[in-house]
Homo-oligomer: A and B are copies of this chain.
Amino acid sequence: MASSTTPAAGKAPPALLDLTIDNITPNTVRINSQSSDARLTYLMARLVSHLHDFARETRLSSDEWMAAIGFLIGCGQISNDVRNEFILLSDVLGLSLLVDNINHPKPPLGTEGSVLGPFHTHDAPTLPNGSSMTSDPEGEPMLAICTVKDTHGNPVAGVKIDIWETDSSGHYDVQHADRGDPSERCVMESDEQGRFWFKAIKPVPYPIPHDGPVGKLLQMLSRHCWRPAHVHFMFGKQGWDQLVTALYLRGDPYETSDAVFGVKQSLIIDLGKVDKTTAEAYGVAEGAWLLKHDFVLTTQEETEKLRDQLAVDALRKLGLRLKLVDHLPVPDLD
């Protein structure tokens, strides 16, 4: 019985006995509060309190509990290198949107964020400006001409931009069992004028993967599983707040019922058509779809300051006595 898992000698854990509906919460919080990590202690205390309150408020039945256990197991087991059912669950429950908004608040001039979703990969090819990121002959050709600027209107050069969308059938490359090279995804870099441009296809609405536990849940909830047509963008550069966003096409049938809550009015765009001059300049066919957009990044410093301020305001409003340590709330015991 002497083992590394035996508690440290000299420090007995709190005594627990005869736990009931009414005393289980403070006792669980107590036994979870033995580490020196104040942030972990706080996270666990709030997690356990909410979990227990949920069970008490719903008088959760044993059958419902077992169904939830089975649901969670199913989410884990359907996940793999290119599918993450728990991110999908977080998306359809609005948690992803919430966490993104908490962590990446935007000042009035900054481009708003949107959900990352489960289909970003790390194997997209880095392509020079003007390249085509599509290999789908069925897609409607679309030229994208974009800029990246700061909140003062100055171009930001050298930003790595991950771009990804589905093919014309509404599937990301990773959803095809016979996926070869990455397709409908690339990484570009903004030039000295903050510009980047590429050839893609007009995005189409598509259902999120609904052959797993999350799809079944949506069906039980009488919710559809569609996302409106969009192109994903992720902007990264040292010193700048990472921007995860997407542009949505106006008039999409799912514009106001995105299954993962990603649409913001400021991210809805109208596509134009490529005119003769542009067609010649960019080497595309006249009359192809044209996406033009100016993205605005915020610095890491201004975002951090804004995030801290919003956190302090929100926690005060919630009546919680907390302080920020490394920008994250912990109980203020001083």
Interface residues of A in 80-108 (CB under 8 A from B): 84, 86-87, 90, 93-104
Nearest-neighbor residue (CB-CB) of A204 within chain B: B1
Interface size on A, residues (CB 8 A): 100
User: Interface 1/0s, chain A 18-35, versus B by CB < 8 A?
Assistant: 111100110110011011
Stretch at the interface among A5-13, A123-131, A290-298: A5-13
- A141 interfacial contact with B, CB 8 Å: no
Shortest CB-to-CB span from A331 to chain B, Å, is 11
Query: What is the bound-complex CA distance between A315 and B261, given in angstroms?
Result: 32
- Tell me whether A102 and B59 are in contact in the complex, defined as CB-CB below 8 angstroms, given that A75-B76, A207-B5, A314-B21 are known contacts: yes
- A231 interfacial contact with B, CB 8 Å: no
**A220 engages B35 (CB within 8 Å):** yes
Contacts of A34 in B (CB 8 A): 221-223
- Tell me whether A69 and B90 are in contact in the complex, defined as CB-CB below 8 angstroms, given that A6-B226, A76-B79 are known contacts: yes
- A329 interfacial contact with B, CB 8 Å: yes
**A54 engages B46 (CB within 8 Å):** yes
Stretch at the interface among A60-68, A148-156, A177-185: A60-68
Q: A65-B95, A72-B86 are in contact. List 6 more A-B contacts (CB 8 A).
A: A17-B255, A18-B265, A40-B221, A61-B99, A72-B76, A74-B76
- Interface of A toward B, CB cutoff 8 Å: 1, 3, 5-8, 12-21, 24-25, 27-28, 31-32, 34-37, 40, 42-44, 46-48, 50-62, 64-65, 69, 72-77, 79, 84, 86-87, 90, 93-104, 205, 207, 210, 220-226, 253, 255-258, 261, 263-265, 307, 311, 314-315, 318, 320, 327-329
Closest 9 CB pairs of A and B: A76-B76, A28-B94, A15-B256, A50-B50, A34-B222, A7-B224, A35-B222, A13-B257, A59-B311
